[in-house]
Each structure stands twice: as C-alpha cells, then as structure tokens.
Structure 1
Amino acid sequence: MKASSTVRFVIDTAPGADLHPGLDLANSRLAAPGGVVTDLLDTPAAATWWLVERGLAPADTHLHEICAGRLRALREQIRALLRARVRQSTPPAEALAEINAALTRVPTAAELRWDPARGLHRSTPHPTDQVVDRALGVLAADAADLLTGPDAGRLAACGSPPCQRYLLRSGRRQWCSVRCGDRARAARAYDRRTR
C-alpha cells in the first residue's frame, strides 16, 4: 500500500516518536508480515503531508521528488545511527556525515521578531527555497539530541519481527505498538503449542 494525498494511514506512533520527530521520521517506513511495506514518504505528496502534519513545513508547501528523496535519504541515515546505538556498535561514517551536513546547512534556531500585534516573539521562517533544508536540519538535530541525550539509553528496536520500528522503552515494553505485542505473544503461544 502507498500513502497518497487522498488516503491517510492511521498508525499508532511508537513510544517516544511523539516527543522526537527524528524517531518519528525513522519509523515512517513500516514492515508488516507477508513482506508488506508501507512508506509514508513514498511520493512527494505523501512526504509533503508528513512534514506539514508535524509543523515542519507550511501548509502551502509542495515538494518535488528530489526533495522527498532527500527526506527519505535522511531517514535511512537516522535509522543507521539508531541501529548502531541499539546494537552498541560503531555508527557508519556516512550516516554521521549526512546528519552533520543537515545540521549545518541552515540555521534551525527561531529568530527574534517584532510584530505590533504580537510584540516580541520567536519565529522560524519558512523561506520557500529552504523549506526542506530547514526540516532536515530540525529532524537531524532532534535525532542527534535523542542519540546523545537522556533518552538514548531507552532506545530499542521493536521486538516483533518483521517490524523495523524503534521506540523508547518504558518499563518492560519491548514493542512499538499493541499490534506488534499481540503478534509477538501469538507467535510465542503458537511455538509453545507446536512443541
């Protein structure tokens, strides 16, 4: 199945993805039993919707394939870093280079602005030629913060194959969703019955 501008998938976010847009991006490609893969960024329209829904691009944004491809490429680099962290292995140099490039391409700090109606306020502009660069910078910064911050030790891969999502553990929870937990418990029960 493919996400499009007319079809929206309702998929529970993995624990922690609501707090970390970088984790949410990493989980935007879903694998289900039977080899079914759903990519929430598979088209420019789907990638645009994903960014707009998360406040990372203005509502009137229209991405082209090259921009959607850049977003998917960043997702794969973040996934590589999350995988290395979970496995406690050396992160790929290419992934580090790509994250650093996204971090430094555009400033992501909100500027101080003045408006007679609002007074002094912080606002991050969305210049049309930098929408994607800004979104990639925000996502890369969040991923870097997740990987180096207090939540890094809670980072885990979903324990229900073929799921490929990541989550922040809370207690003994090993799965990214109730669906994955039910599937894992059913597989264990089936294994016990067939022995």
Structure 2
Amino acid sequence: MSAEPVLPPAPGAGDYLAIDFVNSAIALPGGQFVDLLGTPEATNRWLTERGLAPADAGVQEMCATQLRSLREHLRALFAARVGGLPPHPAALSAVNDALTRAPAAALLQWDEKSGPFRAIPCPTNEILDRALATLAANAADLLTGPDAGRLTACGSTPCNRYLLRHGRRHWCSTRCGDRARAARAYARRSTTKAS
C-alpha cells in the first residue's frame, strides 16, 4: 500500500462501474502500486461501498482472486478498444462467462402483506456471481454503447487508469495532468539546454 492518498475517481467512473472496477489497481509514481482488491477484506469493502455485496458477505481469497481475474480481462478489453486492436479471445470468454453467472430475469415473488412483486433472488452463495455479472454487464454496455469512443487510457506515465475523455482532457486526475505537463516542460528545457 502506498502512503499517498488514492486518486479521486476518474472521469466516467461515476457513470460506469466498470471504469471504477478496472481502476481498482492503481500504478503510482516511484513504482508504487495500490490494489483496492488486494485482500479479501479490501475486496469486501470495495463491493459493499458499491452496493454489490452486504458488509458481512465474508469474501474469501478465492472470491477476491476471481474478481481480480475479471478485472484483468476487462483491462485487456479496454486496452484493445482504446488501441483499436482485436481483443484477446480469453478476455471475451471470461466476460461472457461472467455475464451468464447470475440470472437476469426478476422472478415473481409473493409477500403475505404486500402481495406480488418481482425481484432477482440473491442467495449468499451467489453474491460473487451477481457481482461478476453486474461488472461484466456494465463493461459490455460501455464497450458497445455511445460512450465507447470516449474511453481512453490516462495519458500520464506511469498511471494505468482508464477514463471517459471529455473534450481534450486525457488525464484521470489533476495530479496526473500536472505530472504530464511537468514532464513535457522538463523535456523541453532539457532539449533546449542540449542544443
């Protein structure tokens, strides 16, 4: 874990949970790395904060590993989309597998006091499947929807986060933008001195 505070959400992360999810592994300057899904406890906290699991879900390492694996597959799909390259078949397969893990149809249920209602059941043993399916569906919606062309990688090294480009902005945060501008200014000064 880094002593630096974690970056604010990248542009678009509030609209697409999938962006927030792929950005849960954060590369920072100086070789630092923060993984918001690095432990079962951290994974449970991340899922709970996003309404994907109850606070007492008791996420185990196997579940955290499955989420980290889906995150890497989604990162690969985002990278392919941003780079205009064909996606790796394993990444597509992993997302499609996650999409089919949880039922999408709300079943008819009956409450003795209020009568009929529709809800998607989510037994405790299906919490992970529902989270995986929700994250995969959100990513699929982003990659196939009107915002897909705005998806981009942060333009500041070593940042590895994704965002939705707005205008000319192609940094995930003010800090990354400042770092990129400082690096360009330093490169210009170095080139001028070398001439």
Q: TM-score, normalised by structure 2?
A: 0.90
RMSD value, Cα = 1.9
Query: Does residue 42 of structure 1 match 2:38?
Result: yes
* Structure 2 residue corresponding to 1:23, chosen from 5, 19, 28: 19
1:192 corresponds in structure 2 to 188
Contact preservation (8 Å) 1:158, 1:164 = yes
Percent identical residues: 60
Any stretches of 5+ residues in structure 2 without a counterpart?
none
Matches within 5 A, 1:127-166: 127-166=123-162
> Structure 2 vs 1, CA of residues 68 and 192 (structure 1 numbering), >3 Å: closer, same or farther?
same
Per the alignment, residue 84 of structure 1 pairs with: 80
User: Deviation of residue 18 (structure 1)?
Assistant: 1.1
2:55: which partner in 1? 59
CA offset digits 1:69-128 (Å, max 9, x no partner): 000000000000000000000000000000000001211444454546666655443311
Distance 1:24 1:193 in 2: 36
Contact 2:101/2:133 (CA < 8 Å) preserved in 1? yes
The Cα shift of 1:165 comes to 0.5
Query: What one-letter code is carried by the residue in structure 1 that aligns with 2:103?
Result: P
Q: Tell me which amino acid in the other structure corresponds to 2:36.
A: L
Rg larger in 1 or in 2?
2
Q: Which consecutive residues of structure 1, in runs of 5 or more, have no partner in the other structure?
A: 4-8
- Give, in whole Å, the separation in 2 of the partners of 1:136 and 1:62: 16
Q: What corresponds to 1:6 in structure 2? A: none
Structure 1 stretches (4+) deviating beyond 6 angstroms? 116-119
Q: Give yes or no for contact 1:108–1:134 (8 Å, CA) kept in 2.
A: no
1:188 Cα deviation from its structure 2 partner: 1.1
Mapped to 1, the partners of 2:87 and 2:147 lie a distance apart of 18
Q: Structure 2 CA distance, aligned partners of 1:169 and 1:16?
A: 8
